[in-house]
Amino acid sequence: MEWSDGGQTLFSQGGFAAVTPQAGYTRNSAFTLRDGDITYPPSMALLFFAFALASVLPLPFVIVAWGVPIPARWWHPHEAVFGLGSGLCSGFLLTALPHWLGTKRPGRLAVGLVLGAWCAGRAGALTWAYGFQTALIFGDTVVWTALASYAIWITHRSSRVRPRKVAWILAAVAVASLKAKLDILGDNHPAAALRWGEAALGLLVLVMLGRMLPSFTFEQLNKRDLSAVRRRTDSLDHFGLLTAAVCLVSWSFWPQSVPTQVLGGVATGLNLVRLMRLRGWRCGWDPNLTPFHIAMGFFTLGLCLIAAQGIVAEASPTHAMLAGSMTLSAIAVGARMLEGHLGIRAHKRLSMAVAFVLAGIVLRLFSPFHPPVLIWAAGTWMTGFGFLTLAVYLPAIARAMNLRAAR
């Protein structure tokens, strides 16, 4: 009994069918699915729930647009700094950090505790009016704090290169999340704290893309034997990333100041040059790689929108850098984990999901100029993430649970 996608076997009666590696491809056996355990790797469970949240996140907004009053707290506390960001980042980092540093992966209990805290944050927002918000609303802060603590601990235990900047960025997001929650509970507007958290999340996306995008692109070009492309980053890449990081820090404190806008313009130019030098178009369309390039494009657009503050909507940089860059990066990371760690390849389904999500992001960015477009943006976004959840991740998890029950 098999399920296939375009002739590529995904599952077989004996378990997950291994994808035949391309030349130069090494499968990491340390992350192979064992005994149908959906927490192995952690990305399976955490990314599934995060993508499921993303598929229903705009639904209250659509209902409000139809004339039914729904409190804004039903969807705003689940966005970037809170539910969606923490779910996507925990699913990725709890798998990527041990893989990068060559250390032992987190256990099933640790993953379950992180997932439980994340679900508590979702419940805290939905039970706001019933007296549970004080205990449950801090669930996301617990997730960010746990991620930061784990990153600090694992980087100090490893003998390899230590990406401590990731740990301290996570700590900054945790502090911003806590401050935003305290502001909300005190009936104060959390705009400043949210902007700090969004800037810190932008830094995290920048660090991740700065590491992964050149590596994955050069790896793909090597497979295609395109030896004319440079093989390593240089001072221009580093200066572009540093300028973007300084711009984000400045934006978090002085969003509409002239120095911030100047930094945004310079960072836009440098990162656009970085993106063009990678020559990602030579890799063709690949749902494991192309979304990374599109994500970096949206991040560069976010820097450009920071430079244009005062002309464009204040939230536009956030939508470009987080709704665009972070979500597309998470989809690509999930696709690479499914194929590289579990041997699951579903390129057609992933391509369809990316197309719908990309349409939703573009329409969302265009919506300040034509507000009715928001409904279409919400619809395409929900369709893309719903398809990703139901057609890619749910079958994988269901098959894993069936295997575990059979054994």
Helices (H), 81-227: 83-101, 108-126, 133-136, 139-157, 164-185, 191-223
Question: Which of helix, strand or coil describes residue 204?
Answer: helix
pLDDT of residue 7: 36
pLDDT of residue 31: 40
pLDDT of residue 384: 92
pLDDT tens-place string over residues 146-198: 888 888 888 776 655 455 677 778 888 888 777 777 776 666 666 777 788 88
Mean pLDDT of 96-117: 79
pLDDT tens-place string over residues 219-256: 887 777 655 455 556 688 888 888 999 999 898 888 88
Mean pLDDT of 101-109: 76
Residue 9 belongs to what H/E stretch? strand 8-12
Residue 369 burial (CB count, 10 A): 9
Q: Kindly list the distances between the CA atom of residue 387 and the CA atoms of 249, 381, 384, in Å, as whole numbers in the listed order.
A: 36, 10, 5
This model's pTM is above 0.85: no
Q: Is the dihedral of CA 86, 355, 297, 232 positive or negative?
A: positive
Reduce the secondary structure of 315-341 to three states and give it as a string: CHHHHHHHHHHHHHHHHHHHHHHHHHC
Residue 19 has pLDDT above 80, yes or no: no
pLDDT tens-place string over residues 72-86: 556 666 666 767 888
pLDDT tens-place string over residues 275-309: 888 888 888 888 888 899 999 999 999 999 999 98
Average pLDDT for the chain: 75
Q: Give the burial class of 293: count Cβ atoms within 10 A of its Cβ; 0-12 exposed, 13-18 middle, 19 or more buried.
A: buried
Q: Considering only CA atoms, which of 31, 48, 94, 40 is closest in space to residue 331?
A: 48
Residue 5 belongs to what H/E stretch? strand 3-5
Lowest mean pLDDT among 34-48, 98-112, 312-326: 34-48
* CA angle (122 as vertex; 79, 360 as ends), nearest 5: 35
Q: Kindly list the distances between the CA atom of residue 4 and the CA atoms of 17, 345, 349, 384, in Å, as whole numbers in the listed order.
A: 10, 9, 11, 21
Lowest mean pLDDT among 19-23, 65-69, 202-206, 340-344: 19-23
Q: Considering only CA atoms, which of 197, 209, 200, 199 is closest in space to residue 306?
A: 199
Between residues 135 and 395, which one has the greater pLDDT? 395
Q: What is the CA radius of gyration of the chain?
A: 21
The encoded tokens of residue 152 equal: 């600090």
CA pair distance 128, 287, nearest whole angstrom: 39
Residue 38 has pLDDT above 70, yes or no: no
Long-range contacts of the stretch 263-270 (C-beta < 8 A, 24+): 263/306, 263/307, 264/303, 264/304, 264/305, 264/306, 264/307, 264/308, 264/309, 265/304, 265/307, 267/240, 267/243, 267/303, 268/300, 268/303, 268/304, 268/307, 270/236, 270/239, 270/240, 270/243, 270/244
Helices (H), 105-138: 108-126, 133-136
pLDDT of residue 100: 73
